Amino acid sequence: MPQAEAVVGFLNAFELSGKEDYLEAALASWSFIEQFVIDHTYGEWYYRVSPEGRPVLDLPKVSPWKCPYHNARAALETIERTRRLCNR
């Protein structure tokens, strides 16, 4: 899931550089996830969305890489990095 990796990557870039543009990009990526990728009715993240933000429904929402790796890793990394940033 590229959006999950984008959030973590932008937070990492912000931590290393202190440049606010990276933090804004992380927040924009998360906003996109929240608005278009998360299935707020049935849970989980859609596997893919169209360029217009519509979920591609013929793909499974859960796969060995997507759910346990990308989604969970992004959430755990975001929590950890947020804690570090708040404790600066």
**Residue 47, domain extent:** 2-86
| pTM for the structure as a whole | 0.86
Asked whether 34 and 45 are in contact (CB, 8 A), the reply is: no
How does pLDDT run along the chain (88 residues), one tens digit per residue? 788 899 999 999 999 999 999 999 999 999 999 999 999 999 999 999 999 999 999 998 888 777 778 888 888 999 998 898 888 7
When divided into structural domains, the chain yields a total of: 1
Tell me which amino acid residue 31 is: S
Cβ–Cβ contacts within 10 Å for residue 71, how many?
A: 21
Q: If you write DSSP's letter for every residue of 9-55 in order, what string do you get? A: HHHHHHHHH--HHHHHHHHHHHHHIIIIIB-TTT-SB-S-B-TTS-B
Looking at residue 22, what is its pLDDT? 97
